[in-house]
A and B are shown apart, each in its own frame.
Chain A
Amino acid sequence: MSGRDAGERTVLFEARHVTRRFGGLVAVSDVSYRHNQGEILGLIGPNGAGKTTLINLISGTLEPTGGELLFEGRPLKGMAPYRRAHLGIGRTFQLMKPFPGLSVLDNVTAGALFGRQPELAMAKARDLAAHWLEFVGLGEKASQPADALGGPDRKRLELAKALALQPRLLLLDEVMAGLNAVEIDEVVALIQRIRDGGTTILVIEHVVKAIRKLSDRLLVLQYGQLIAEGTAESVLEDPAVIEAYLGRRRG
């Protein structure tokens, strides 16, 4: 487990006092954390805690209303999402967003064509796309139209699309939601293989068993605030976290 020996690790991404308001609602409030190179960070919290908003802020779909985001020490402020993708920030969407009119292969090819290695020739991009489809186990369905895929396969496609841009920081938004136990185990193994390939990963997940297994560290959000940070064991026993999930004990 190369991911767990902290200490001399380099920081890939850092959030400093990041805040995002929507009118009167503070969706993300003064969140600060460091994400080390090669680390899998789990991001958990009740519904509406601001997890997806945080991913939107990192990928550039939203801009923070306060604070700073740094990728390799470089501020991301004002940088368009496509340029963050070129830097190596890839993401999946909780509500999967395949290109419905395109084949499964072409969906992934789009990611390869425009990812971290721009100016890739079409044939080369197709090869790369085929490789990632094979990697997520969709190799046999490459020529099917993307909207013909079922739920679990769409999750895999979403993953392959994000991988095709060869991200250095991969943001996974509930890639296990709606999967059964066997499928979850497969995806957990997949994510571990992605990390072993050198990718740093932030993963939002509700399936506690899976996230405990995957994460080197956990971040817990509640009402937009970071209420706990640490190893899975310590965080999941933290009274504040238990209260956030289960409510205050009566009496």
Chain B
Amino acid sequence: MRALVWVLAAAAVAALAIVPFTLSPVMVQFGISMLLFAVLAQGWNIIGGFTGYASFGNSVFFGLGTYGTAVAMVQFHLSFALGLVIGAAVAVAFAVLIGLPVLRLRGHYFAITTLALSEAVAAIISNLDIAGRNQGLILPLIRGDTMFYELSLGLMVLATLTVLWLARSRFGFGLIAIREREDAAEVMGIPTTRYKVMAFALAALFSALAGGIQAYYLTFIDPASAFDLSLNVRMIIMAVFGGAGTVLGPVIGAFLLSGVSEVLASYITGVASLFFGLVIIAAVLFTPKGVIDAARRLPRRGLAYFLDAVRETRL
């Protein structure tokens, strides 16, 4: 059963890899967005799903990745690869610096504090000459959707393999223990502060790399789009919808919800977001543990699975 899942996953990656050579450019563009969302959802999964810290700061890491890459390329004429590295380094450094004080807060307090980060950093960036103030930056134009697509796919695979390692490693075990009960985890010998900061930094790494790819792909960035809080909300919804704290859940959530929102947006533009909202409410009610959990237990439990879920959410 386990082996089968991974054979299927490998086949899925192979199938995704040939998309640019078989499907239309529109599909490739949709694919890039979907894959980058999967990376973001997986990044959130590390800090939110495994460690249990509902971060609203991941869109800041994404924004720092876009700006780090853009500033390196536009102002210093560095290569894209170097830009990605710089963007990621800035985001990771920021995660460590801000994580040390902020990760001392728990639950809602942590969420609210990280919520404020997006606005604060966007305001700072808007006043920096080197970052183009609030007009933003225009990156060199490149036509290479296939390159961006394959890069995004590679990053998504890397993020997922990292989470797979987490799920089996001592470090990941420590993160789960922190999520389940932090004070008990600490007296059991788990260096909670260090582990939380490391998880935050790892989440920042993947969010920033996704941001760097996005910046070069769109060739234009400004503070409003780079530090968009709704992006953070979407990655949380995707991760939770698929199954937070699982290896494949966030990827599946990102794929399904990207698909749903794309279909809704193209057929019934006006009410698309309403339907999207309904899909999410239904998911929270009936599959609160994510699509992955439902797929695993539904065959055995049948419809009773949904009833149990509704009972557990106490509605």
A118 interfacial by beta-carbon distance below 8 Å: yes
* Complex Cα spacing A109 to B174, Å: 10
Contact of B187 among A85, A99, A106 (CB under 8 A): A85
Interface 9-residue window, one of B58-66, B134-142, B178-186:
B178-186
- Find chain A residues with CB under 8 A from B180 CB: 99-102
The SS class assigned to the B binding surface is: helix
Per-residue CB contact flags for chain A residues 113-135 toward chain B (1 = under 8 Å, else 0) read 11110101010000000000000
B192 interfacial by beta-carbon distance below 8 Å: yes
Complex contact B181–A82 (CB within 8 A): no
A97 interfacial by beta-carbon distance below 8 Å: yes
| Nearest chain A CB to B177 CB, angstrom units | 5
B25 interfacial by beta-carbon distance below 8 Å: no
| Nearest chain A CB to B257 CB, angstrom units | 24
| Nearest chain A CB to B287 CB, angstrom units | 17
* Complex Cα spacing A115 to B174, Å: 12
B170 interfacial by beta-carbon distance below 8 Å: yes
Report the count of interface residues on A (CB-CB < 8 A).
Answer: 32
Q: For chain B residues 162-195, which have a beta carbon within 8 Å of chain A?
A: 168-170, 173-174, 176-177, 179-181, 183-193
- Find chain A residues with CB under 8 A from B193 CB: 80
Report the count of interface residues on B (CB-CB < 8 A).
Answer: 21
| Nearest chain B CB to A134 CB, angstrom units | 19
* Complex Cα spacing A93 to B183, Å: 10
* Complex Cα spacing A165 to B186, Å: 12
Quick one: closest B residue to A120, CB to CB? B170
- Find chain B residues with CB under 8 A from A85 CB: 186-189
Complex contact A122–B191 (CB within 8 A): no
Complex contact B176–A82 (CB within 8 A): no
Closest 6 CB pairs of A and B: A99-B180, A85-B189, A114-B189, A97-B184, A81-B186, A110-B177
Could you write out 6 A-B pairs with CB less than 8 Å apart? A82-B190, A97-B183, A98-B181, A99-B185, A110-B173, A114-B177
